[in-house]
Amino acid sequence: MVGMPEGSRVIHAENDSIYLRHHDVEAPDLHRLYENAKRDQWNVSTDIDWSQKIDLDQGFMADELIDIYDTTFWHKMNSKEKAEMNRLFSAWRLSQLMHGEHGAVLVCGQLANVLPDADTKFFMATQVMDEARHNEFFQRYMSERVGKTYDQADTGRELFDFILSDPRWYIKTIGLQLIGETFAVALFKMLADTAKDELLRYGCKKILQDEARHMGFGMLSLPQQVAQMSPEERAEVEDFTVYFLRSTLSGGFPTEAYLDMGFNKAEINEIRDLRRQKAIGGDVAMFRQLFKRDIHSTLVNNLHRCGILSETMKGKLETELRVNVSEHLNAC
């Protein structure tokens, strides 16, 4: 390879590579996940019918996900403009998923080195392959159907740069399998149910099968580690988790897509305010409300199972992130 491909970045990392002498099964639950992963491999090239037609006038993701949907901005557009807005918005949102999948390939590659036993290393080898497949799916989808990609937003970039450069496996796992994948799974579920393009719905369903295993890895590997942490380490983990949950749960704002649609800065600020008000007032489509409920409930459940949901953490989630912890915890 000559030089760095345009748009790439280098993240400095010093991770241990633990070279094992023994490779016996020590954690049967994790080994079962590995067996399931081998059994359930699929192929983006042959298991997806890429020849399926798409109606470009219909768009890709549901219109209701676009912040300006059903506002005066939306009503002023003709049907061609609405379809183009849908294309640009979908391009931005799906680009973020694509970049996240690429980050997951890199983090899992590191985890295969840094994890201390064979069961976790073997599982992580399968997750590298899964994430490469997801990366491939979105790259092909964007290039063949949407025709546009955007750069990674600051929120995703910050999370991945942090966990790629921190040497501790549990920080990487909390960042990827607990924070990143809880958000991604809720989004994939919503897309699998509501996307207008049947191929996108199908691809998300296939990806979801893999993601369930990935979240399972976090749930099986983290509790023991969290239980052994000193009060200082636990406080650090709580701060890290809340910090990145705040940016991840916001989902980012597709400024570039609105700029490409021809909106000026003042209009985009207005749209941003509108989105904030809608979120606070709950004035969003039913499936967006369900998405929020789903993500909050999975998050509370997963944090609880990993042992991270201390009283301090509950307070931070309730006051800083407006997550109704007790309601979701009672339903667990």
* Residues near Fe ion (CB under 5 A), total: 5
172 lies in the binding site for Fe ion (CB under 5 A): no
In the block, residue with structure tokens 């997951």: 104
- Point out which span in 10-18, 95-103, 146-154, 188-196 binds Fe ion (CB under 5 A): 95-103
- Point out which span in 14-22, 23-31, 213-221, 279-287 binds Fe ion (CB under 5 A): 213-221
Angle between helices 28-39 and 118-141 (to 10 degrees): 30
In the block, residue with structure tokens 């580690």: 225
- Report 229-288 residues binding Fe ion (CB under 5 A): none
- Point out which span in 21-29, 59-67, 129-137, 274-282 binds Fe ion (CB under 5 A): 129-137
214 lies in the binding site for Fe ion (CB under 5 A): yes
- Point out which span in 94-102, 158-166, 231-239, 256-264 binds Fe ion (CB under 5 A): 94-102
For the CB of residue 270, give the shortest distance to Fe ion in the complex, in Å.
Answer: 34
For the CB of residue 214, give the shortest distance to Fe ion in the complex, in Å.
Answer: 4
Distance of CA 187 to the CA centre of its chain: 7
Considering only residues 99, 102, 121, 134, which one is a binding residue for Fe ion as defined by CB under 5 A? 134
82 lies in the binding site for Fe ion (CB under 5 A): no
- Point out which span in 1-9, 130-138, 229-237, 324-332 binds Fe ion (CB under 5 A): 130-138
DSSP H helices in the chain: 28-39, 44-47, 72-75, 79-114, 118-141, 154-165, 169-173, 181-194, 198-227, 231-250, 255-260, 265-281, 286-306, 311-320, 325-331
Complex with Fe ion: residue 54 or 208, whichever CB lies closer: 208
Token pair of 280, please?
Answer: 């606070």
- What is the SS3 assignment for 277? helix
Complex with Fe ion: residue 213 or 296, whichever CB lies closer: 213
Rounded to an integer, what distance in angstroms lies between the CA atom of residue 122 and that of residue 143? 32
For the CB of residue 147, give the shortest distance to Fe ion in the complex, in Å.
Answer: 23
Complex with Fe ion: residue 101 or 260, whichever CB lies closer: 101
- Point out which span in 7-15, 99-107, 292-300, 301-309 binds Fe ion (CB under 5 A): 99-107
Distant-in-sequence contacts of 21-24, Cβ < 8 A, 24+ apart: 22/118, 23/118, 24/118
For the CB of residue 312, give the shortest distance to Fe ion in the complex, in Å.
Answer: 28
Complex with Fe ion: residue 214 or 328, whichever CB lies closer: 214
Token pair of 26, please?
Answer: 């020590």
H or E element at residue 197? none
Rounded to an integer, what distance in angstroms lies between the CA atom of residue 238 and that of residue 30? 25
For the CB of residue 211, give the shortest distance to Fe ion in the complex, in Å.
Answer: 5
Rounded to an integer, what distance in angstroms lies between the CA atom of residue 224 and that of residue 307? 9
Complex with Fe ion: residue 63 or 101, whichever CB lies closer: 101
Complex with Fe ion: residue 86 or 248, whichever CB lies closer: 248
DSSP assignment of 85-123 equals: HHHHHHHHHHHHHHHHHHHHHHHHHHHHHH-SSHHHHHH
Residue numbers of the site for Fe ion (CB under 5 A)? 101, 131, 134, 211, 214
